[in-house]
Amino acid sequence: MIEASHLSRQFGRKTAVSNVSFNIEAGEVVGLLGPNGAGKTTIMRMLSGYLEPTTGAVTVNGENLGQNAYSIQRQLGYLPENLPVYPDMLVADYLDYAATIKGIERGDRSRAVREALLATAMMDRALERIATLSRGQKQRVGVAQAILGRPRFLILDEPTNGLDPHQTEQMRDLVQQLSRRATVIVSTHIMQEVEAMCDRVLMLRDGQLALDRALGDLHRSNTLVLRTDDDTPALQALLEKVPQVERVETGAAQPGCREYLLHLREGCNTDLAASNISHCVLGANARLFQLECRVRSLQEVFAEVMLDDE
Ligand SMILES: Nc1ncnc2c1ncn2[C@@H]1O[C@H](COP(=O)(O)OP(=O)(O)OP(=O)(O)O)[C@@H](O)[C@H]1O
């Protein structure tokens, strides 16, 4: 488990990250989402031990990263935002060099390199110079170095940065495969990326954690959509009296059909609300066409969170 506790980072007078705390359980794929400059890279660098927090701490399985950086970094794979490139090296030589730096024993190195090349579908490029690779292939070499030695934690900073749509799709598939055997933290500013790859999202705004939510929960809103043939003020008044309903908004209308948006009270029992609402509609001798939870897209939630001044 990775625990970030009250992480802050200053660069001179600039506060890049402010009092950010979260836990990441083994096996989770967590997306760090935020606009440019929100602090994603700074957090990734602190989680990987390449940057010290000004205050706060990172612990990995209970061990403090600042005090045990070397032993923890051996269990950790990191794809930095700007990968250092060694254009004159052959892919295999670079990976062998990266494996050496990671402390992988000489006898295990060639197996680790082979595994990383296979996992990233780069085996047939192993003997090419890095300079001759495409952007996407270089990014794959970056991921290959991150997964050398099968780390239990993978920290990937913008893994699809600069990739074309096909390469992006391949990279997402690769991250999903890797997540079967590692805990993955992936930073991005692309919503579809989070939808496609992650179990949970952390949203950052101006260096602060603005939202930490499982994707399944995030899509469910606190609003029920009701469609009925009754558009009278009498029904609206009845709906407003349902104890779980905070506010009723009228939505789209078509001949013979009116939509209502029923905003529920925070923390109320949604099943009970739905049961009371249907009772209300049928009791008014109206026809109930549809009653369902409104689903919010990640894009909508992101926009709400970024606009929220609280
Ligand atoms: N080494 C540094 N020196 C000074 N300021 C820095 C440094 N690194 C980051 N910052 C500042 O900290 C803030 C957060 O930067 P960071 O790179 O973490 O954001 P980000 O969310 O990764 O952005 P992007 O999506 O553009 O990569 C920015 O305002 C940035 O200018």
- Mark whether 167 and 254 lie in a shared domain: no
Identify whether the C-beta of residue 199 lies closer than 8 Å to the C-beta of residue 168: no
- The answer as to whether 249 is a domain residue is yes
Mutate to test the pocket of ligand 1, among 9, 11, 191, 203 (most ligand atoms within 8 A of CB): 11
Of residues 100 and 169, the one with the higher pLDDT is 100
**Is the shortest distance between the CB of 36 and ligand 1 below 6 Å?**
yes
**Tally of domains within the chain:** 2
> In angstroms, rounded to a whole number, what is the distance separating the alpha carbons of residues 272 and 264?
11
- The answer as to whether 214 is a domain residue is no
pLDDT at 84: 67
Looking at the predicted structure, is the pLDDT value of residue 309 above 60? no
> In this predicted complex, what is the ipTM?
0.97
Average pLDDT over residues 144-169: 87
Average pLDDT over residues 105-129: 93
Going by C-alpha positions, the residue among 229, 201, 228 that lies closest to residue 215 is 201
**Is the shortest distance between the CB of 179 and ligand 1 below 6 Å?**
no
* pLDDT bucket at 166, cuts 50 / 70 / 90: confident
pLDDT at 310: 53
Q: Are strands 220-228 and 183-188 parallel, antiparallel or unpaired?
A: unpaired
Edge-first strand order for the sheet with 288-295 is 245-254, 257-264, 220-228, 288-295
- Mark whether 156 and 297 lie in a shared domain: no
Identify whether the C-beta of residue 77 lies closer than 8 Å to the C-beta of residue 119: no
Ligand 1: nearest atom to the Cα of 189: 25
**Closest Cα to atom 11, ligand 1: which residue?**
16
* pLDDT bucket at 175, cuts 50 / 70 / 90: confident
Q: For 47-65, what is each residue's pLDDT tens digit? A: 999 899 999 999 999 999 9
> In angstroms, rounded to a whole number, what is the distance separating the alpha carbons of residues 155 and 143?
10
Range of the domain at 273: 221-307
Q: For 70-79, what is each residue's pLDDT tens digit? A: 888 888 999 9
- The answer as to whether 216 is a domain residue is no
Identify whether the C-beta of residue 210 lies closer than 8 Å to the C-beta of residue 218: no
Of residues 6 and 150, the one with the higher pLDDT is 6
**Is the shortest distance between the CB of 142 and ligand 1 below 6 Å?**
no
Mutate to test the pocket of ligand 1, among 40, 79, 82, 83 (most ligand atoms within 8 A of CB): 40
Identify whether the C-beta of residue 33 lies closer than 8 Å to the C-beta of residue 188: yes
Edge-first strand order for the sheet with 63-64 is 14-24, 2-11, 55-60, 63-64
Identify whether the C-beta of residue 178 lies closer than 8 Å to the C-beta of residue 115: no
Identify whether the C-beta of residue 52 lies closer than 8 Å to the C-beta of residue 66: yes
> In angstroms, rounded to a whole number, what is the distance separating the alpha carbons of residues 201 and 179?
15
**Is the shortest distance between the CB of 11 and ligand 1 below 6 Å?**
yes
Looking at the predicted structure, is the pLDDT value of residue 262 above 90? yes
Q: What share of the chain is helix, strand, coil (3-state, %, to 5)?
A: 35, 30, 30
Identify whether the C-beta of residue 22 lies closer than 8 Å to the C-beta of residue 202: yes
- Mark whether 21 and 120 lie in a shared domain: yes
Identify whether the C-beta of residue 131 lies closer than 8 Å to the C-beta of residue 96: no
- The answer as to whether 211 is a domain residue is no
| Amino acid of residue 57 | A
Task: Tell me how far the alpha carbon of residue 67 lies from the centroid of ligand 1, in angstroms.
Answer: 25
Mean pLDDT score across all residues of the chain: 91
The encoded tokens of residue 69 equal 């950086």
pLDDT at 187: 92
Looking at the predicted structure, is the pLDDT value of residue 188 above 90? no
- Mark whether 178 and 240 lie in a shared domain: no
**Is the shortest distance between the CB of 50 and ligand 1 below 6 Å?**
no
Identify whether the C-beta of residue 276 lies closer than 8 Å to the C-beta of residue 244: yes
Average pLDDT over residues 29-43: 94
Looking at the predicted structure, is the pLDDT value of residue 80 above 80? yes
**Is the shortest distance between the CB of 40 and ligand 1 below 6 Å?**
yes
**Closest Cα to atom 7, ligand 1: which residue?**
11
* pLDDT bucket at 9, cuts 50 / 70 / 90: very high
- Mark whether 301 and 197 lie in a shared domain: no
Which of 173, 206, 239 terminates a domain? The answer is 206
Containing 121, the helix (H) or strand (E) segment is none
Task: Tell me how far the alpha carbon of residue 135 lies from the centroid of ligand 1, in angstroms.
Answer: 23
Lowest mean pLDDT of 36-40, 91-95, 286-290, 296-300, name the range. Answer: 296-300
Looking at the predicted structure, is the pLDDT value of residue 129 above 80? yes
- Mark whether 6 and 78 lie in a shared domain: yes
pLDDT at 275: 96
- Mark whether 104 and 169 lie in a shared domain: yes
% residues pLDDT > 90 (the chain) = 65
% residues pLDDT > 70 (the chain) = 99
Which of 150, 181, 206 terminates a domain? The answer is 206
Average pLDDT over residues 215-227: 88
Compute the half-sphere exposure of residue 75: CA atoms within 13 Å on the CB side of its CA: 18
* pLDDT bucket at 181, cuts 50 / 70 / 90: confident
Ligand 1: nearest atom to the Cα of 38: 21
Of residues 189 and 87, the one with the higher pLDDT is 87
> In angstroms, rounded to a whole number, what is the distance separating the alpha carbons of residues 245 and 239?
7
**Closest Cα to atom 6, ligand 1: which residue?**
11
